[in-house]
Structure 1
Amino acid sequence: MSVTVRFCGAAHTVTGSCYLVRTDAGHLLIDCGLFQGQKTLKELNYGAFPFHPSDIDAVLLTHAHIDHSGLLPKLVKEGFRGRILATRGTIDLCSYMLPDAGSIQEQEVLALNRRNATRGRADVTPIYTQADAVAAMRAFQAIDYETWTDVIPGVRARYWNAGHLLGSASIEIEIAGEGRGGAPLRLLASGDIGPDAKLLQPDPQAPAGFDYVISESTYGDRIRERTTPELRRERLAADVRDAAAADGALLIPAFAVERTQELIVDLVALMELGAIPPAPIFLDSPLAIRATEVFRQHAASLDTSVDVGRLLASPHLHFTETVDESKSIARLTGFHIIIAASGMCDAGRIRHHLKRWLWNNHATVLLVGYQAHGTLGRFLQDGVKAVRIQGEEIRVAARIRTLDDYSGHADGSEIARWISARRPVARGLFLVHGEDAAISGLAARVAERILPSAKLFEPLLDDVYELTTAVPTPLDVAHRRRLAPEAVTRLDWHNEMSELMLDINARIEQAADDRARGVIVRRLRRALAD
């Protein structure tokens, strides 16, 4: 018997989650997510899969976030004919999120092709369309938590609530051993693990005793300040009061699903308590508006101590679904709150609001989620003085704040406790879904107290391991890598080019006179000629 796992995404990066498990009986995927962040990574979304979609017999989907589900329509479009197994909450969210992703791709490609036409460049096509995403939903099949489901011959799976998102799951996989008495191979894929004191979601659950665990490590090197629901609201209230005192817009880039609903619940509650000044809250995201309705429908499965339905129907909350409604917000002055996707500022309506407000020192940008390497949100978080948005240079004068309390991910100590509770882990722990520092930090924490370092593995993109050996055995895949390892972890030339353009403009503006500016231009020309 041979069982292998190939890490087709989320390897030394936090997006593109996709793990291919091959057995003698068939092939299955755990997740099939979209790459986000720097352009070199995002270009993988347009290329061929590192497998034939028609060879995949089933997909086990941990949750609905696009970095875990976003390439499923492409998978179906290119020949996958099996089942996509997911919880009911995940399916309900995907029914909105995947068509929305297809629509965004169509719109972005349309705009890009207009620019390409003026530059004499060839047209590009979207990764998939809204219609492709709608068609892919027919492959979904709902399964219940904590119930065994046969996936392919000799393989069964059981889903456990991961406490990360409505419908999120850690997936327990059991692969039958050879012969009548052969012990099964047991594998657990964490998905994304929710933190302690998460609003709306329960604590993560899963059994113990595995041969292998595949664990996320998004915040593996970080320990957050202790939080409770009360402390979280106090910290949010302090940031909101500061933004109100500045008398400008408070922009909150937020993922449309769950992060947005959590923020609305807390903002409305704080306004009702008088802890922050009442102000209009604009939910400027068609997807977030639809997701909010899904949360209302699933309110009974959420935290029963919070009246989710009532708070999400507050008169303070205004839905701006159409483009014209969204544009009308730009006419507002004074303090108001805008929540818009995307959470990393790399797409969606938030970019238009950032263009409108980033240069204004009365505005505040509150980052409430993970900002991946190479995204606009990460550059803002790192304190850049200027950014480029849709080809325009924007000076950053707004105050940039970060509030980690709304993260959907466990921090390093919480992940380590989750891993510890899965023991014994007989053969190996794979650390994925994290950048270099996060993986290294979590590995050091785990090796110190939980598992010996010989059982820890940090797979690179497209690494393949044989799982039936006493310890996981890496197979030679150098010839099959889509990207060199360093291309995954460092800023690419697109980022460097944007930074260079900003630096050139800054130097020219700082020059004493036209003669000095001319000297800079001539030096640049000579450098280009070398």
Structure 2
Amino acid sequence: FYEERSEYKDELKDVMVYIDSPMATSATEVFRRNAQVFDDETKDYILRGDHPLDFKNLKFTRTSEESQALNFDPSPKVIIASSGMCEAGRIKHHLKHNLWNPKSSIVFVGYQAPGTLGRSIANGDKNVTVLGEKIHIEAEIYNLEGFSGHADRDGLLEWLSGFRKKPARIFLVHGEEDSKKDFAAYVKKALGYNCTVVEGDSEYTLSKNAVVTVEDYNNEIVSPESLTRIKNKISAVHDDLETILYNTHLAVGGNLSPEQLTEINNTILALEKYTFSLGSAVAKEA
């Protein structure tokens, strides 16, 4: 963001960002521990020292007391809270304390299902009930659909295109009815697959027409394509280590904190352990 809009850097440098969701906190830790599966763009950011899940103003709140205290702190801040459709969780308390305030902004970054509180707010309703209290909305409301974690039309089609064998059934469940119908027509035209558009509460009986044997599964695991992917991953790890070693030389003599040095040392020990494990696995006889 700052690379394209540097004029905001000084204005936002002291604004705290709070992740106010125990589940999101735990999920973030999972992502932090598995950075190897990030896309190339994100890996490049991390290797340059710009980790998207770890910056100086980021704070995680786990306890309900920490969450409640955010609403009594008047300083500007960004609060990221669940649930996304505002039906439960800590977001309801934040809405109760901020929807009436014209200085507040409520930003939706995902789909809001019909009948939910989030849908009512996003649609522009000016009066809602939150935790039994009627609230007149004065806050600014925004909907940034581009931040959704779901794949878009092309992403879904790419995923469907990856099946070696035509799927027996395809059900379109999540999304607006018109969007699901349009996507079903798009899939039919692009891939020739018929999709079932699920409307409301529906029931379907599934039948199993084929059985995959263990032998078939094992043959796919040791295919030439799988071995090539493994070699490419090892080569990519080697290149990333070269970049890290270069950055380490630049950082020598810098202002590294004791915490940073401890984290680096622990990571190196883990890397050493897994390096020996990889070597052992490669050398092991079949």
Tell me the amino acid that sits aligned with residue 45 of structure 2.
V
More helix by share: 2
State the partner residue of 1:277.
12
Distance 1:386 1:401 in 2: 17
Corresponding pairs, count: 202
Question: Are 2:67 and 1:337 aligned?
Answer: no
Distance 2:62 2:168 in 1: 50
Contact 1:416 1:442 survives alignment (8 Å): no
Contact 2:184 2:195 survives alignment (8 Å): yes
The C-alpha deviation readout for 1:408-458, integer Å capped at 9, x for no partner, is: 112223323433454763765433334422321111222334316xx3333
Tell me the amino acid that sits aligned with residue 357 of structure 1.
N
TM-superposed deviation, 1:275: 7.5
TM-superposed deviation, 1:467: 6.0
TM-superposed deviation, 1:317: 1.5
Question: Are 2:138 and 1:397 aligned?
Answer: yes
The C-alpha deviation readout for 1:73-100, integer Å capped at 9, x for no partner, is: xxxxxxxxxxxxxxxxxxxxxxxxxxxx
Runs of 4+ in 1 over 4 A off after TM superposition: 308-311, 465-469
Return 5+ residue gaps in structure 2 as ranges: 211-286
Distance 2:117 2:26 in 1: 25
Question: Are 2:30 and 1:289 aligned?
Answer: no
Distance 2:168 2:22 in 1: 45
Structure 2 counterparts to residues 113-512 of structure 1, below 5 A: 274=9, 277-278=12-13, 279-303=15-39, 304-307=43-46, 310-422=51-163, 425=166, 428-451=169-192, 455-459=194-198, 461-466=202-207, 468=209
Contact 1:299 1:309 survives alignment (8 Å): no
State the partner residue of 1:215.
none
TM-score by length of 2: 0.60
Cα distance change, pair 422–275 in 1 and its aligned pair in 2 (3 A): farther
TM-score by length of 1: 0.34
Distance 1:371 1:406 in 2: 13
Q: RMSD between aligned alpha carbons? A: 3.2
Tell me the amino acid that sits aligned with residue 174 of structure 2.
H
Tell me the amino acid that sits aligned with residue 316 of structure 1.
N
Contact 2:108 2:142 survives alignment (8 Å): yes
Cα distance change, pair 276–448 in 1 and its aligned pair in 2 (3 A): farther
More strand by share: 1
TM-superposed deviation, 1:329: 1.3
Give secondary structure in 1 for the equivalent of 2:56: coil
The C-alpha deviation readout for 1:279-325, integer Å capped at 9, x for no partner, is: 01122222222332222222233242232895534331222222222
Return 5+ residue gaps in structure 1 as ranges: 1-229, 238-269, 470-530
Distance 1:325 1:430 in 2: 41
Identical aligned residues as a percent: 37
